[in-house]
Chain A
Amino acid sequence: MAKYLLLKHYRGAPAAVNNVPMDQWEPDEVDAHMQYMRDFANRLRETGEYVDGQALAPEGMFVRYDGEGRPPVTDGPFAETKDLIAGWMIIDVDTYDRAIELAGELSAAPGAGGKPIHEWLELRPFYGVTATATATE
């Protein structure tokens, strides 16, 4: 098994195919999307591939140390151009191919007009593991 992080972006990823903000969808399209996301996570729980999923609020700032006895420097709120992560899901799967398959499924979540969003998701392998099938075959 190998763990992967699926990252969803508020911004910073290439534009989705069906790129309409959620508040412009029909209300039942919003419901259908939420249901799809819940079903997806539940399916992975059943297959034993789900590890964790969390959503992040859009606000935030950069912080850094500014030297002995001084308060940390903050830089925020974020500039409009900053890559902004909306949330993540961690999955634990047998193969790299399975990780891609699942990311593809998640990206197919329905959006405006009930059509898939085709959202770009970032797929990141965790260190310390190898994707068994593709690495050894």
Chain B
Amino acid sequence: MNEPLLRELVPAVIGILVRRGASFAAAEDAVQEALVEAWRVWPDDPPRDPKGWLVTVAWRRFLDAARAEGARRRREEEVAETAPVGEIRAGADVDDTLQLYVLCAHPSLTPASAVALTLRAVGGLTTRQIAQAYLVPEATMAQRISRAKRTVAGVRFDQPGDVATVLRVLYLVFNEGYSGDVDLSAEAIRLTRQLARHTSHEEVAGLLALMLLHHARRPARTTADGRLVPLAEQDRALWDTRTIAEGVEILQAALARDRLGEFQAQAAIAALHADARRAEETDWVQIVEWYDELVALTGSPVARLNRAVAVGEADGARAGLAALRELDPALPRHAAVAAYLHERAGEEATAARLYVEAARSAPNVPERDHLTRQAARLNARLRS
């Protein structure tokens, strides 16, 4: 059975149920049940019209649920009253899938809830899969999703929304990486690709390009035993050149429209890295220029920190350290950047001390271990 195809149908099917008068929450539940049914039945008996099959089964489940609550008449009246079946369809060319993305990323939701709801209602993942991916018990994830659905219960499905909030949610999913059976980065790419088919927003293209360019380098980023490999030391033969080419193409088309945004700027930086066949060939001067754009767009301290690294490469470690001095030392990874630049400046003892400090404040175990190794490497050199 083609799982991605099946999951791709989910947003549209939810949209159809909502147009027929189901609430978003009820429609989403019904489609989730239809999905489970599809998993069971399709392998032996694949439908000729998968989408039609899902709509039929989901609608039946919705009606069953409405009856089971003993509120059949009330619901039907409600449906009859509010049923926008013809109305919406006639009145507006609303894109159900797009609306679903916007609803699931609604600003009233916490980031964790928006992520969970998006993965279920737009991504068609089961609660169990989402729970596994985020390393929480299934019951916890189920509760998070049902609370999220209650939170957006009053939001009209056809309200215009901000695509930027959607992109933030998708980027969060992407950065979660992969643990367990679900590759959240790949899922985020699938969802962003799908979104890009429904809107021509440049930043959607920018985010898609950014994800592809990062994802293409993933095989080189860690060793088989989970060790981090710094960019300069990565085996670039492991980079996925086809994915890089796709990312670059999408990015160029977006940039050509001259409406720059933060994701396009980040993607441009990733593209410049991906473009260098050897680390020494990296065009750091251009990368610094893109960081300038990114800082101008976002004012983000993290962008400034990364810019200091790029300045260190483009203009020398001293210049990088000067750029770093303007930043708050409490920034995450500040000590790691300082350690790196001090080593480049030939100050190994300072660098070793800073690597130890950076390891203490590392945000995750692979980074902590990497920074500890850097400290050990410098200390060993200082001893000899």
Kindly state whether residue A59 has any CB partner on chain B within 8 Å.
yes
> What is the minimal beta-carbon distance from B338 to any residue of chain A, in angstroms?
16
- Chain B positions within 8 Å of A29 at CB level: 376
A16 at the binding interface (Cβ < 8 Å):
no
Q: A23-B355, A38-B225 are in contact. Are A31 and B360 (CB under 8 A)?
A: no
Interface flags for B2-31 (1: CB within 8 Å of A; 0: not) read 000000000000000000000000000000
Residues 31-63 of chain A, each 1 if its beta carbon lies under 8 Å from chain B, else 0: 100110010000000000000000101110000
| Residue pair A31, B226 in contact (C-beta under 8 Å) | no
Cβ contact within 8 Å between B361 and A59: yes
- Give the residue of A23, A57, A58, A59 whose beta carbon is less than 8 angstroms from that of B376: A23
**Pairs across A and B, CB under 8 Å, 10 listed:** A22-B375, A23-B359, A23-B372, A24-B379, A26-B380, A27-B376, A30-B372, A55-B365, A58-B360, A59-B360
Question: Would you call the interface of chain B mostly helix, strand, loop, or mixed?
Answer: helix
Distance A30 CA – B355 CA, assembled complex (angstroms) = 15
CA–CA, A27 to B379, complex, Å?
A: 9
Number of interface residues of A (CB under 8 A): 17
Asked if B262 is at the interface of the complex by the 8 Å CB criterion, the answer is: no
Shortest CB-to-CB span from B297 to chain A, Å, is 31
CB distance from A86 to the nearest CB of B (A): 11
Are A23 and B360 in contact, CB atoms less than 8 angstroms apart? no
* Total contacting residues, chain B, CB less than 8 A: 20
In the bound complex, residues from chain B placing their C-beta under 8 Å from that of A27 are 373, 376-377, 380
Q: Is B105 an interface residue (CB 8 A)?
A: no
Q: Across the A-B interface, give the 3 residue pairs with the lowest CB-CB distance, nearest first.
A: A23-B375, A27-B377, A27-B376
Q: Kindly state whether residue B369 has any CB partner on chain A within 8 Å.
A: yes
Q: Does A126 contact B (CB under 8 A)?
A: no
Is A78 close to B, CB under 8 A? no
Closest to B373 in A: A30
Q: Is B207 an interface residue (CB 8 A)?
A: no
The answer on a CB contact under 8 Å between A38 and B373 is no
Chain A nearest CB: distance from B252 CB in Å? 41
Contact status A23-B379, CB under 8 Å: yes
Q: Mark A74-105, 1 if CB is under 8 A from B, else 0.
A: 00000000000000000000000000000000
B residues in contact with A23, CB < 8 Å: 352, 355-356, 359, 372, 375-376, 379
**CB neighbours of B362 from chain A (8 A):** 57
Question: Distance in Å from the Cβ of A15 to the closest Cβ of chain B?
Answer: 19
Closest residue of chain A to B363 (Cβ to Cβ) is A57
Q: Are the CB atoms of A25 and B365 closer together than 8 Å?
A: no
Residue numbers in A under 8 Å from B379 (CB-CB):
23-24
Cβ-neighbour of B373 out of A31, A57, A59 (below 8 A)? A31
Closest-CB distance, A34 to chain B (whole angstroms): 6
What residues of chain A lie closer than 8 Å to B365, measured between beta carbons?
A: 55
Within the complex, the shortest CB–CB distance from B186 to chain A, in Å, comes to 25
Q: Name the residue in A23, A24, A29, A38 with the highest tally of chain B Cβ atoms < 10 Å from its Cβ.
A: A23
Given contacts A35-B225, A38-B225, A38-B226, contact A24 B369 (CB under 8 A): no
Min CB distance A115 to B, Å, is 16
Find the A residue at minimum CB distance from B365. A55
Report how far A78 CA is from B136 CA in the complex, Å.
Answer: 28
Supplied contacts A24-B379, A26-B376, A27-B376, 15 more A-B pairs, CB within 8 Å: A22-B372, A22-B375, A23-B372, A23-B375, A23-B379, A25-B376, A27-B373, A27-B377, A29-B376, A30-B369, A30-B376, A31-B373, A34-B225, A55-B365, A59-B361
Question: How far apart are A52's CB and chain B's nearest CB, in angstroms?
Answer: 10
Q: Which residue of B lies closest to A26 (CB)?
A: B380
Instruction: Give the distance in Å from the alpha carbon of A21 to the alpha carbon of B376 in the complex.
Output: 10
Query: Could you tell me the distance between the alpha carbons of A30 and B373 in the complex, rounded to whole angstroms?
Result: 7
For A59, list chain B residues within 8 Å (CB).
360-361
Q: Which residues of B contact A38 (CB under 8 A)?
A: 225-226
The distance in angstroms between the C-alpha atoms of A29 and B377, with both chains bound, is: 11
- B369 engages A34 (CB within 8 Å): yes
- B381 closest partner in A (C-beta): A27
The residues of A that contact B225 with a CB separation of less than 8 Å are: 34-35, 38
Complex Cα spacing A31 to B374, Å: 12
Q: Mark B201-233 against chain A: 1 for CB-CB distance below 8 A, else 0.
A: 000000000000000000000000111000000
- What are the residues of chain B within 8 A of A31 when measuring CB–CB? 227, 373
